[in-house]
Amino acid sequence: MAAQTIDDLPTPVLILDRAVLRRNLKRMSDRLREAGIMLRPHLKTAKSVQVGRMAVEGHDGRITVSTLAEARYFVEGGFKDILYGVGIVPAKLPAITELRRKGVNLRVVTDNIAVARAIADAASKGDTFSVFIEIDSGAGRAGLPWPELPGLLDIARVLHEAPNVELAGVMTHAGHSYHESTGDGVAKVAEQERQAIVGAAEKLRAAGIPCPIVSGGSTPTAVHSKDFSGITEMRPGVYVFNDLDQEFIGSCGAGDLALSVLASVIGHYPHRNQMLVDAGALALSKDISAQEFQPKVGYGTIAGAPSKDMAVIECSQEHGFVASAGPMPYGNMPIGTRVRILPNHACITAAAYDRYYVVDSDIDGGRTVVDVYDRINGW
């Protein structure tokens, strides 16, 4: 039987270029290893054990996840040091305990004293926990806002003094780096990120509370930071695949996008100079992050299109509207033509699929399906 090629796959389908993936992984791994920083990749983007195993090569295997479903899946996949990076609630503690009893150091995050007390209470019955305190380094999402860090010492003392609880350290996600589009702009955010978590760690240590791990995050700051002093680990996520948003932020180049959605042309509309493809809101997602920098990318651009600005400018559930400033090359793109759409935001696009069809552009331009990687979705 001949090897399966991407022409054999029903559309829409998710394609992962292993050659680009490997380069992306190596670049980040090398950069952090050379800086003396541990890599704890955020596997919320890939949600795949195969990608996860490749991502931690040369590091000690620690990872980050964003859901309990991911935690269970990566425990099953043999990972032993897992940070569940979304603020824990007391009702989820039994699920954490269940996984920790399998010999996995599944760590949780909080920024709330009531939660810290609930953890201490659960631990008093004999269960162990490892907890990070989340710091808001400027993104305005979760965490104690820096530089005030209100309540930091109170939360830390509850955790530090509780039997069976390890205060693992402090962590932040510099999500505001996603709104910068120059290396200098991102570097400034990275320095703010560093000062926030290193400052929080120093505040703890000055109070006699140990803070072994100082954990930063975000792909842009991991790429553009000029100084990691005091940081012990970084948790970038989307760098494994990259996407149009990361390209415009400057975290990667145009050749570093590992993920694409393979779609078929399903309609020609010369009266409005458009085509339709069978990848719409569900296949691409309705995330428009990259439009902050380049509105014309819509919901994704067409890789290798005859016209460089060809993009999916609108989506309904299963229809993508393809437009271009120039005349649409209908003759070269008959109905059924397959196109690869570069995602606007890889983490959100990938979530519609339960597997990756893996190709390798270093082998045959990415035609043959060389592997299939699985993916965990849901919660």
Chain residues binding a second copy by CB under 8 A are: 10-13, 44, 66-68, 86-92, 95, 111-112, 114-115, 140-142, 145, 148, 150, 175, 264-269, 271-272, 276, 278, 281-283, 285-288, 316-319, 321, 334-336, 347-348, 351-354, 377-379
Minimum gap (Å) between residue 127 Cβ and a second copy: 18
Minimum gap (Å) between residue 378 Cβ and a second copy: 6
Minimum gap (Å) between residue 249 Cβ and a second copy: 15
Minimum gap (Å) between residue 134 Cβ and a second copy: 8
* Comparison of 11 and 260: residue with beta carbon closer to a second copy: 11
Instruction: Of 52, 82, 53, 78, give the one whose Cα is nearest residue 66.
Output: 82
Instruction: Of 148, 101, 97, 143, give the one whose Cα is nearest residue 122.
Output: 97
Minimum gap (Å) between residue 368 Cβ and a second copy: 18
Q: Sign of the CA dihedral 312, 371, 239, 237?
A: positive
* Comparison of 37 and 244: residue with beta carbon closer to a second copy: 244
Cα 28 from chain centroid (whole Å): 13
**Residue type for position 152:** L
* Comparison of 193 and 360: residue with beta carbon closer to a second copy: 193
Q: Where are the beta strands (DSSP E) in the chain?
A: 13-17, 38-39, 63-65, 81-84, 105-110, 129-136, 144-145, 165-171, 213-217, 233-235, 259-269, 274-277, 300-302, 311-315, 320-323, 338-343, 355-359, 371-374
Residues 6+ positions from 263 with CB-CB distance below 8 Å: 11, 12, 277, 278, 279, 283, 320, 338, 339, 340, 341
* Comparison of 22 and 92: residue with beta carbon closer to a second copy: 92
Place of tokens 């002093």: 229
By the 10 Å C-beta count (0-12 exposed, 13-18 middle, 19+ buried), 264 is classed as: middle
SS3 label, residue 72: helix
Minimum gap (Å) between residue 188 Cβ and a second copy: 21
DSSP bridge pairs for 133 = 110, 170
* Comparison of 104 and 288: residue with beta carbon closer to a second copy: 288
* Comparison of 37 and 115: residue with beta carbon closer to a second copy: 115
In angstroms, the CA 207 to CA 239 distance is 36
* Comparison of 62 and 173: residue with beta carbon closer to a second copy: 173
Minimum gap (Å) between residue 255 Cβ and a second copy: 25
* Comparison of 31 and 44: residue with beta carbon closer to a second copy: 44
Neighbours of 140 (CB within 10 A): 10
Residue 175 and residue 218 in contact, taking contact as beta carbons nearer than 8 Å = yes
Minimum gap (Å) between residue 314 Cβ and a second copy: 9
